[in-house]
Structure 1
Amino acid sequence: MQNKELYYETLHQGYGQYFEVKKMLFEQHTEQWHLSIFETNALGRVMALNGAIQTTERDEFIYHEMLTHVPLLAHGHAKRVLIIGGGDGGILREVVKHRDVEAITMVEIDAAVVDMCKSYFPKHSDGAYDDPRLALVIQDGLDYVRSAADKFDVVISDCTDPVGPGEVLFSSEFYQHCKRLLNDNGIFVAQNGVPFLQEDEVSNTVRRMHSYVKDCTFYQAAVPTYVGGIMTFVWATDDIAAKQLSVAELEARFTRAGLATRYYTPALHQASFALPAYVQRAVASALTITE
């Protein structure tokens, strides 16, 4: 907090956004982080970590729907899903809507994050933690994928930006183990920043991931809170055809799933793989290098 009324995001040097704080609900300083949860008129409750906005009540549905329904509906018959991070419960809330999913493993580094988000952001999880298909594991995400023996159809990494403790979830080792945990034609997705301001995140991910899969690319969505243009989500799979489904097929799967969404549509799903030229160039350049 720079004063009693405004919270300034400091993720991007020389550029950012501010929030009028109606009420500070929670604030904690440790050696590793500065966590703030506050009430606003414009976006409801907001969570910020180390000067970067993590989630807001008003627009979280865009991020969580696109990071969940795109891989699950593209896969078409996912039975086992792994969520890395996601302690606010938003991804879990969307995954449990898929009735055909039989088992969900969620790995969160800190149980306090889960409890805090249940208290301050109850609509994010909306009771999803009570779903009997869930196995909640309190463990570091990299440590989990290093040692896990289970296989999954979809792996969703809902992680913070690649700085500090979250940096390992963008490493080549993490991607290699996530690929190892995928069943044949399984799909891995993860948030990958705003490429207009964080183009290096696109390049780094491609360099570190593309040697493990046949198809490493991105899809996108516009999330108002994550300023600077579109947000990209990494897409990694051996199933080349998974991102090429027709709108008619996606419509059929969406209808069968009986989903109710506020952002996701089958047509938007297909269109989300159309990337701006500057992102395409970053991907093409990075494909020539392996880290």
Structure 2
Amino acid sequence: MSDYQETLYEGYGQRFAVDRMLYEGRTEHQHLAIFENARMGRVMALDGVVQTAEADEFIYHEMLAHVPILAHGLARRVLIIGGGDGGMLREVAKHRDVESITMAGIDGKLVEMCREFLPEHSRGAFEDARLNLLIDDGLRFVLSVEEKFDVIIVDSTDPVGPGAALFSQEFYQACRRCLNDGGILVAQNGTPFLQLNEVQATAKRMSGLFPDWHFYQAAVPTYIGGAMAFAWGACDSESRKLSLGTLCQRFAGSGIVTRYYNPHVHLAAFALPQYVLQAIGKPSND
């Protein structure tokens, strides 16, 4: 039995026992490894950084999908940038009122290998008739697309390698242009305790673009360093201030069964620790 040592942070990290290596090799864009671990199930890593694990992926995918879609209330067209493992697609596809799901990811080989070796992530969602799957650079796609969306979900890697462009000012501006009135953008933004500069950089980029911008959190064990931050940009500032009753009504109406998300968690997730609020220059009562 070998070990997989994550390389995201110098001097600090996590190690997985590799019970069985299912796939290891280079795609056109990055090094991909998918292996089995007794505690975390099947694990996928890119360029030495763990991206997802079967045991806890539901937390990340439910929070990045259901928070914006239920906050919007009338989302019909959803765009996923990245999301090659299929978990985000699975959660978005649970919303019956969503009429079209566009998914743009740069790495076709990654999608192919995840469909083969991480079938529990997508659970058949790649066969959904509403899906338009595009193997395309996410930045290039949002710069050129004429279509507009109600919700944009950025399920990217960290801002290194192929994922770096998805944290740029140009990318956020292009996403803002692609949103319909009342649209919402959410994006993976790292763990603030270890990647506070990422959160600060995103705050600067979002602040001039959206009437309401903020972050929300969820603790995903696979992403070490504490709670993970998700960037939030809304064209309608009321989207973040919904009542518990409204969210409960929408959630019940959706008929979706979750393992992590619920309306109480939805509202509580936007409460940020003081050090994060100070770093992004926001008062604690925002």
Which residue of the partner structure matches residue 124 of structure 1?
A: 121
Query: 2:189 aligned with 1:192, yes or no?
Result: yes
**Deviating more after overlay: 20-29 vs 195-204:** 20-29
Q: TM-score, normalised by structure 2?
A: 0.96
- Aligned match for 1:67, one of 64, 75, 81: 64
User: Quick one: distance in 2 between partners of 1:32 and 1:73?
Assistant: 34
2:11 maps to which of 14, 31, 34: 14
The equivalent residue for 1:79 is: 76
| Deviations 1:126-174, CA, capped at 9 Å, x for gaps | 0111111111111100110010000100000100000111100000000
Structure 1's 193 and 258: CA in aligned 2 closer, same or farther, altered over 3 A?
same
Give the 3-state SS of the residue equivalent to 2:213 in structure 1. Answer: strand
Q: Secondary structure at the match of 1:27?
A: strand
1:139 and 2:133 aligned: no
Distance of 1:111 and 1:14 partners within structure 2: 33
User: What residue is the counterpart of 1:109 in the other structure?
Assistant: 106
> Over residues 174-195 of structure 1, what are the superposed CA-to-partner deviations in whole Å (9 max), with x where a residue is unaligned?
0000000000110000100000
Q: Kindly provide the amino acid, as one letter, of the partner of residue 118 in structure 2.
A: F
What's the CA shift for 1:55? 0.5
Q: Given the alignment, which residue of 162, 179, 183 partners 1:182? A: 179
- Distance (whole Å) between structure 2 residues aligned to residue 165 and residue 99 of structure 1: 32
User: What's the CA shift string for 1:7-60, capped at 9, x where partnerless?
Assistant: 111111111111111011111147853221111101011111122110001100
Consecutive unaligned residues in structure 1, runs of 5 or more: 286-291
Q: Report how far residue 84 of structure 1 moved.
A: 0.5
3-state DSSP of counterpart to 1:270: helix
Alignment partner of 1:136: what SS? strand
Aligned pair partner of 2:32 in 6, 22, 35: 35
Q: Aligned-pair distance for 1:223?
A: 0.2
1:23 maps to: 20
- Aligned twin of 1:46: 43
The counterpart of 1:171, out of the listed 159, 168, 176, is 168
Cα 1:253–1:31 change in 2 (3 A) is closer
The residue number in structure 1 matching 2:222 is: 225
The size of the alignment, in residue pairs, is 282
Q: Matched residues, percent identical? A: 60
Following the alignment from structure 1 to structure 2, what is the Cα–Cα distance between the partners of residues 29 and 249?
47
Measured in 1, the distance between the counterparts of 2:58 and 2:116 equals: 18
Residue 143 of structure 1 aligns to which amino acid in structure 2? R
**2:32–2:110 contact (8 Å) kept in structure 1:** no
Q: Deviations over 1:191-232 (max 9, x none)?
A: 000000000000110112221111111000000000111000
1:150 correspondence with 2:144 = no
Query: Whole-Å Cα distance in 2 between the matches of residues 110 and 93 of structure 1?
Result: 18
Distance 2:81 2:28 in 1: 23
Q: CA offsets, 1:74-106, max 9 Å, x none? A: 000101000001011101100110000111111
Distance 1:98 1:31, change over 3 A: closer
Say yes or no: does 1:254 pair with 2:257.
no
Residue identity opposite 2:14 in structure 1: Q
Report how far residue 5 of structure 1 moved.
1.7
CA–CA distance in structure 2, aligned partners of residues 32 and 156 of structure 1: 21
